[in-house]
Amino acid sequence: MRSLKLNLVDNARSFIEEALSKAIQAENDPHQWKFAIIHLVQGIELSLKELLRNEHPLFIYKNIDNPKETVSPKEAINRLNRIWSFELSEDENNSLTMAIILRNNIIHHEYEVKPLEVKAAFAKLLGFLVDFHRNHLEDPIDTYIDQNLWHAAIEIEKYGQELFRRAQERLKGKDFASEYILTCPKCGWNALCAPEYLNEGACFVCGHREVLGFCDRCEKLMFEDDVKECGDKTYCWDCFVYLTDDYWHEDGRGKDRGRGQSA
Ligand SMILES: [Zn+2]
Ligand SMILES: [Zn+2]
Closest by Cα among 59, 65, 42, 41 to 4: 59
Q: Report which bound ligand comes closest to the CA of 207.
A: 1
* CA dist list (Å): 102 to 46, 57, 187: 17, 28, 9
pLDDT of amino acid 263:
37
Q: Do residues 60 and 71 lie in contact, with contact meaning Cβ atoms separated by under 8 Å? A: yes
Stronger pLDDT, 5 or 28, i.e. the higher one:
28
Closest by Cα among 7, 137, 142 to 80: 137
* CA dist list (Å): 129 to 48, 95, 114, 124, 159: 10, 10, 22, 9, 16
Q: Report which bound ligand comes closest to the CA of 121.
A: 1
- For 210-246, what is each residue's pLDDT tens digit? 999 889 999 888 999 999 998 889 999 999 998 887 5
Q: Report which bound ligand comes closest to the CA of 160.
A: 1
CA–centroid distance, 118 to ligand 1, in Å, is 9
pTM recorded for the entire structure: 0.82
Q: Report which bound ligand comes closest to the CA of 167.
A: 1
CA–centroid distance, 143 to ligand 1, in Å, is 31
Give the separation between CA 122 and CA 20, rounded to whole angstroms.
10
* CA dist list (Å): 3 to 67, 71, 122: 16, 19, 30
Q: Calculate mean pLDDT across residues 21-41.
A: 95
CA–centroid distance, 230 to ligand 2, in Å, is 12
**CA angle, 165 as apex, 160 and 171 as ends, to 5°?**
125
2-26 vs 32-55: helix crossing angle, rounded to 10? 160
Give the separation between CA 196 and CA 217, rounded to whole angstroms.
14
**What type of residue sits at position 246?**
D
What percent of the chain clears pLDDT 70, i.e. is strictly above it?
A: 89
* Residue 254's pLDDT band (cuts 50, 70, 90): low
CA–centroid distance, 164 to ligand 2, in Å, is 28
Looking at the DSSP assignment, which residues form a beta bridge with residue 229? 234
- For 162-207, what is each residue's pLDDT tens digit? 999 999 888 887 777 777 889 999 999 999 987 665 678 889 999 8
Q: Calculate mean pLDDT across residues 31-37.
A: 95
pLDDT of amino acid 260:
46
CA–centroid distance, 164 to ligand 1, in Å, is 10
